[in-house]
Structure 1
């Protein structure tokens, strides 16, 4: 019996179990082991989920609910000799053509390794993520304000590191549930799970669990996760220009005169 336990403790599943229970073990490494396990068990769904969590979710992938986090908008600015840091604003304060498409939510599509790096590099308790074309948007708002001594210098989403850690915790919990389901299905003398056992465990861990609701497409994940400083467009933007592209054309081809009148109120909101 002791020899059987020693052999079992050296299996790939045992390594995944050990890593999942160790909060200090890098999640990316554990997920790569899941990809191998999914290959051995011929589980496309396990390989897809582990690959996307490790590498990042691409544009066409439906994002798990736990990867959408609250992200209020903030600005940094200068007003004469005074510096303004982290003033929260409403999306309604943004220029016309942008405001309707900006949410106070952020889809975290990057891989777990990059999420861990974002937490490590956080400014205090929050990670600051710049809007695409943020400098252009700030320039439009500053032009509407018309005061060279009162300037917005930065516009960004502010995401709590607690929210980012919650994503990592969801992934680790899903891994633990997966191992638990496999252990329950496998006899003591069995070293590696069968494809049927893996399929059942994946169904429970990725779909039936209230903590890990995941929707997967049948296509294999493509491409790397995007930079943490830029949000990845959501599914469906392959067929349609993103609002940033449309807004840039509208604002800078037709000129800023079109939006200046609408931004007068915005300037008063900021500067009084």
Structure 2
């Protein structure tokens, strides 16, 4: 490899193995390496990890984590915090948008790393797209004058987010290992095909495959805030299920047109 490319590979290896170095710094070196050897695939992957998977860009499987759906509410004199609900209890027009208990983490690695800093609470709350509108829909369907849902969100374990970041760091290490195995001579530049194949091996483990960029429907933007570890289903029945499951089913038909209009405005 040329001196510049060889130096970048060595720096990526050094920083990927040092967990005190932020991933954003290592990924920027990958962009520089991709520019040095004209590898669009490496630049695109590193850029997406840095900026996030925006718009219709498909989220990699390793960024999809399990996340229960929870809500906060006021019901008469009682305050409910972290009540877990089933996705089936969301309005149908929301479920049709793919909202489930699998959450694609689309934000950049810098935001993911920052979300792990600070307090020692075990979970993060990530708001559902249009969470305020969804809460109003659910209140409308429930038709309970003394009930008000104040938030609807995913509860994500910090361990899951740390696992995603660990996979990115492992991918960087495997990328360097594959480059060194394929181009052991430091005086020889790797071709763009070599770097593309090395990235594919690091991501998918198949030396014969090639990275193909596909698209899928975006889940929409999300925001993160620290939150206490959210309780799962316990001995107490869900206040939502206990009070108004029947009303939800019956009322959904009556308000479907209005709900569809609200969600269409948010999601489209």
Match of 2:257 among 242, 250, 264: 250
Asked whether 1:228 is paired with 2:202, we answer no
Q: Could you say if the C-alpha distance between residues 130 and 169 of structure 1 is closer, same or farther in structure 2, counting changes exceeding 3 Å?
A: same
Q: Could you say if the C-alpha distance between residues 120 and 51 of structure 1 is closer, same or farther in structure 2, counting changes exceeding 3 Å?
A: same
Deviation digits for residues 8-63 of structure 1, max 9, x if unmatched? 9x811111111100112111110010011011111111111111111111223222
Match of 1:58 among 54, 59, 81: 54
Q: Could you say if the C-alpha distance between residues 86 and 15 of structure 1 is closer, same or farther in structure 2, counting changes exceeding 3 Å?
A: same
> Contact 2:137–2:259 at 8 Å: present in 1 too?
no
Structure 1 unaligned segments of length 5 or more: list them. Answer: 1-6, 220-224, 231-247, 256-272
Shift of 1:214: 9.2
Q: How does 1:25-64 map to 2 (within 5 A)?
A: 25-64=21-60
RMSD value over aligned CA atoms?
Answer: 3.3
Aligned to 1:148: 145
> Contact 2:126–2:222 at 8 Å: present in 1 too?
no
Q: Could you say if the C-alpha distance between residues 170 and 147 of structure 1 is closer, same or farther in structure 2, counting changes exceeding 3 Å?
A: same
Q: How does 1:1-272 map to 2 (within 5 A)?
A: 11-101=7-97, 102-120=99-117, 124-187=121-184, 190=186, 193-195=189-191, 197-208=194-205, 216-217=212-213, 226-229=221-224, 250-251=257-258
CA distance in 1, matches of 2:136, 2:214: 43
> Contact 2:23–2:110 at 8 Å: present in 1 too?
yes
Structure 2 unaligned segments of length 5 or more: list them. Answer: 226-254, 263-268
Deviation digits for residues 172-216 of structure 1, max 9, x if unmatched? 01100011122233446x267422643442232233259xx9954
CA distance in 2, matches of 1:62, 1:110: 12
CA distance in 1, matches of 2:53, 2:119: 22
Q: Could you say if the C-alpha distance between residues 227 and 215 of structure 1 is closer, same or farther in structure 2, counting changes exceeding 3 Å?
A: farther
Q: Could you say if the C-alpha distance between residues 199 and 79 of structure 1 is closer, same or farther in structure 2, counting changes exceeding 3 Å?
A: closer
TM-score (norm 2): 0.72
Q: Secondary structure at the match of 1:77?
A: strand
> Contact 2:109–2:165 at 8 Å: present in 1 too?
yes
Aligned to 1:236: none
Q: Which runs of 4+ in 1 moved over 6 A?
A: none
CA distance in 2, matches of 1:215, 1:82: 53
Q: Could you say if the C-alpha distance between residues 110 and 198 of structure 1 is closer, same or farther in structure 2, counting changes exceeding 3 Å?
A: same
TM-score (norm 1): 0.71
CA distance in 2, matches of 1:122, 1:152: 26
Q: Could you say if the C-alpha distance between residues 203 and 151 of structure 1 is closer, same or farther in structure 2, counting changes exceeding 3 Å?
A: closer
Q: Could you say if the C-alpha distance between residues 79 and 35 of structure 1 is closer, same or farther in structure 2, counting changes exceeding 3 Å?
A: same
Q: Could you say if the C-alpha distance between residues 135 and 123 of structure 1 is closer, same or farther in structure 2, counting changes exceeding 3 Å?
A: farther
Deviation digits for residues 247-271 of structure 1, max 9, x if unmatched? x99326879xxxxxxxxxxxxxxxx
Deviates more, 1:29-38 or 1:87-96: 87-96
Q: Secondary structure at the match of 2:93?
A: coil
> Contact 1:63–1:215 at 8 Å: present in 2 too?
no
CA distance in 1, matches of 2:211, 2:157: 25
Q: Could you say if the C-alpha distance between residues 214 and 70 of structure 1 is closer, same or farther in structure 2, counting changes exceeding 3 Å?
A: farther
